Amino acid sequence: MKFPEFRITDIRLLPYLPLVLTPRLKWFIAALTALGAVHFALTTVYSFQYLPVPPVVREASHRYTVPFFHQNWKLFAPEVPVYDNQLEYRYAANGAWSGWADVSGSLGYAPNGKIEYIEQVITGALAWQIANNLYERNQRKQFDRIVQSFDYRRALYFTKQLHENTTGQTPGDSIQLRVKFRFTPPADKAYTFQSSYLELPVYSFTHAK
């Protein structure tokens, strides 16, 4: 007896065909699963800044997530902050310093765009370092704990890269950051702002090499 031929192209037979896991397909599924696990881990570390992870993992999560996987959403309306923090910088070229300027605003980025939000996240972390690790010795401010932190190095890297990517030029041979703290009064008080600045030490690119 001769049985009729059935071809795989017959769509009526597809639900009855067993899934054949060839070696190539197994490797593809394993690689896809590993990539998904790495993506989930890095975005989770970036989203939850309080997780106790090594600085190298924190830095890797930031470089991977920003700006392609960064999400700017909040479940509840945010409270009005007591301080509005802004990151400013200046750079030295040929022995002369430029004027102080907002990192993203001076380079033409919108005040409500993604770059500005990323800057706010970085500045907020740097402000935390200032609030918790700035101390005095012999009536002089000590910045050693701050400049050794990941948050300071991230702010420095962000400023340098944004300047280079936007202008096409390196920011001279030295760069200096400062944080502008602007006090936001309560809604039922007089609408007046009080601003203060904290200049961080000068970072020299020539000495860093």
Tell me the three state secondary structure of residue 101: strand
Which of 101, 147, 97, 100 lies closest to 126 in space, CA to CA?
147
Q: In a 3-state reduction of DSSP, which class is residue 193?
A: coil
Q: Is residue 109 part of a domain?
A: yes
Q: Judging by beta carbons within 10 Å of its beta carbon (0-12, 13-18, 19+), is residue 193 exposed, middle or buried?
A: exposed
User: How many domains does the chain fold into?
Assistant: 2
pTM: 0.60
Residue where a domain terminates, one of 21, 37, 65: 65
With a cut of 50, list the residues of the chain below it in pLDDT.
6, 8, 11, 13, 16-17, 74-77, 80-81
Same domain, 121 and 196: yes
The pLDDT of residue 52 = 75
Position 4 in a domain: no
Q: Which helix (H) or strand (E) is 157 found in, with range?
A: helix 150-167
Whether 3 is covered by a domain: the verdict is no
Domain co-membership, 59 together with 123: no
What pLDDT sits at residue 37?
87
Find the length of the chain. Answer: 209
Q: What is the pLDDT of residue 113?
A: 86
Are 39 and 127 part of one and the same domain? no
pLDDT of residue 6: 47
Asked if the structure places residue 184 within a domain, the reply is yes
Q: What share of the chain is helix, strand, coil (3-state, %, to 5)?
A: 45, 20, 40
**pLDDT score recorded for residue 35:** 85
* CB proximity list for 160: less than 8 A, separation 6 or greater: 170, 171, 175
Domain span at residue 52 reads: 11-65
Does residue 126 sit within a domain?
Answer: yes
Q: Is residue 30 part of a domain?
A: yes
CB 133 within 8 A of CB 149: yes
Query: CA-CA distance, 131 to 179, in Å (whole number)?
Result: 12
- What pairs with residue 179 in β-bridges? 87, 198
Residue 154 pairs with which residues in a beta bridge? none
